[in-house]
């Protein structure tokens, strides 16, 4: 059986992995045999690879760019370009690597859970999609797949009235996405796949648990992004008061004086950055490639972080983020207005859907006016930025 940590990494819908790594190959094979995932395998070459024949001609030897191979393009022509540094590469001169993209099959996850319950000899009945009632030697409990169930079944109020064991399929950061209360029982799906008795043991624990809430608050026990914020205090405090407190907008100190950032690219191609304000960690944001290609959000943050503290013109951002529009916007005012509008929306999404949920001050990324001219500039509002890739710190234990 594959190890649980690798299996947990692979069980992320849309994730990409080095297909030739033995531990990845073993986990993928196991999950495919159970029908839990579908895969797409593609090939790529690295822009700067010390083992390649063209390495001596590479100017930016720290470039982490990956060039996906396409049979429709001419390998001997000028059609393969690094998405990071825009260098033209010739794949025939370079070592090829395989990358596997994962698609989790939810209906197979449900079937696997049902099979594990059957082999464990536990009587069960599916009450709702992704919710089972299970009879254990210690009493009745509920089995909930937190990734896919209705919000009703991950509400803290519901969990207080129903003994339950929660299972998480996408386990990235799951320890920070559950409320830190001892009476909540949860397990990673990866651990259940690797050790079939894990689920039965967890169900027994959940059947024995007596809920012991320390505070009175209505909140989900699990969040797909970050843990719900609840503050300690008197158990008599009203839930409505707690909700009102959470809605109070946080006051941030000036980021240009008090906030520092780090950014790096993981081996699986995911671009990450994190911040620290006045010595305290804020959070981390990840941008995963789609179809092995960087997203617009990834390109935007990569350019701004890499160029900091230098201001970047909107013309440069358009060239990096929307290369298909860079020629049109020069002479077409309507196209320029449309592209600037798209850029404004892109920045808004990064601020409100990425940074804010992660606990990062969204004001480090200034918003723009759609009437702004292409020669205007933009720069992240940060005191200092550190590029970990330059120091080969691809997997920092404590980013920021």
Res. 224: pLDDT tops 60: no
pLDDT in the model for residue 373: 63
pLDDT in the model for residue 211: 82
Res. 126: pLDDT tops 70: yes
Say how far apart CA 218 and CA 9 lie, in whole Å.
Answer: 31
Positive or negative: CA dihedral 369, 299, 288, 380: negative
Say how far apart CA 5 and CA 240 lie, in whole Å.
Answer: 39
- Percent residues over pLDDT 90 in the chain: 36
Query: Residue 116: which region, alpha, beta or left (left: phi > 0; alpha: psi -120 to 50)?
Result: alpha
Which strands sit side by side in the sheet containing 97-104, from one edge to the other?
A: 16-18, 97-104, 37-46, 66-68
Tokens encoding 189: 């799906």
Of the segments 32-41, 89-98, 348-357, which one has the largest average pLDDT value? Answer: 32-41
pLDDT in the model for residue 57: 82
Say how far apart CA 359 and CA 356 lie, in whole Å.
Answer: 5
CB atoms within 10 A of CB 309: 12
Res. 366: pLDDT tops 50: yes
Res. 342: pLDDT tops 90: no
Rounding to the nearest 10 degrees, give the CA dihedral for residues 172, 177, 181, 183: -60
Question: Residue 138's pLDDT band (boundaries 50, 70, 90)?
Answer: very high
Strands 185-188, 164-168: parallel, antiparallel or unpaired by DSSP? parallel
- Percent residues over pLDDT 70 in the chain: 84
pLDDT in the model for residue 178: 81
Lowest mean pLDDT among 6-15, 61-70, 228-237: 228-237
pLDDT in the model for residue 218: 55
In DSSP terms, 18 is beta-bridged to 99
The residue with greater pLDDT, 398 or 359, is 359
Say how far apart CA 252 and CA 365 lie, in whole Å.
Answer: 13
Res. 139: pLDDT tops 80: yes
Residue 235: phi, psi to the nearest 5? -70, -10
Say how far apart CA 317 and CA 302 lie, in whole Å.
Answer: 10
Average confidence (pLDDT) over 31-56: 91
Question: Residue 395's pLDDT band (boundaries 50, 70, 90)?
Answer: very low
- pTM of model > 0.85: no
pLDDT in the model for residue 221: 62
């Amino acid at each position: 059986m594959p190890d649980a940590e690798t299996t947990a990494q692979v069980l992320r819908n849309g994730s990409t992995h080095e297909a030739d790594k033995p531990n990845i190959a073993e986990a993928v094979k196991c999950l495919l045999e159970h029908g839990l995932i579908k895969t797409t395998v593609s090939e790529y070459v690295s822009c700067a690879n010390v083992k390649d024949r063209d390495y001596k001609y590479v100017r930016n030897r720290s470039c982490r760019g990956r060039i996906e191979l396409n049979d429709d393009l001419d390998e001997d022509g000028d059609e393969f370009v690094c998405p990071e540094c825009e260098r033209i590469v010739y794949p025939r001169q370079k070592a090829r690597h395989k990358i596997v993209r994962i698609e989790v099959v939810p209906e197979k996850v449900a079937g696997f859970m049902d099979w594990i319950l059957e082999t464990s000899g536990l009587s069960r009945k599916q009450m709702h999609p992704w919710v089972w009632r299970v009879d254990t030697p210690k009493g009745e409990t509920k089995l909930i797949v937190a990734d896919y169930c209705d919000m009703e079944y991950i509400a803290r109020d519901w969990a207080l009235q129903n003994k339950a064991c929660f299972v998480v399929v996408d386990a990235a950061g799951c320890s920070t996405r559950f409320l830190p209360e001892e009476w909540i029982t949860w397990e990673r799906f990866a651990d259940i796949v690797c050790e079939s008795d894990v689920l039965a043991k967890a169900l027994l624990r959940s059947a024995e648990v007596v809920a012991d809430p320390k505070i009175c608050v209505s909140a989900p026990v699990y969040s797909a992004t970050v843990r719900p914020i609840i503050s300690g205090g008197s158990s008599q405090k009203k839930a409505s008061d707690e909700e009102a407190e959470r809605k109070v907008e946080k006051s941030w100190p000036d980021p240009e004086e008090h906030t520092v950032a780090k950014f790096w690219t993981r081996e699986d191609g995911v671009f990450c950055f994190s911040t620290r304000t006045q010595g305290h960690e804020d959070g981390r944001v990840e941008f995963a490639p789609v179809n092995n290609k960087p997203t617009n959000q990834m390109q935007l943050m990569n350019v701004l972080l890499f160029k900091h503290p230098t201001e970047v013109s909107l013309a440069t951002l358009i060239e990096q983020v929307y290369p298909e529009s860079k020629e049109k916007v020069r002479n077409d005012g309507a196209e320029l207005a449309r592209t600037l509008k798209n850029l404004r929306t892109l920045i808004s999404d990064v601020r409100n859907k990425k940074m804010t949920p992660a606990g990062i001050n969204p004001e480090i990324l200034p918003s723009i006016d759609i009437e702004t001219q292409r020669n205007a500039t933009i720069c992240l509002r940060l005191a200092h930025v550190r590029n970990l890739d330059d120091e080969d710190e691809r997997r920092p234990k404590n980013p920021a």
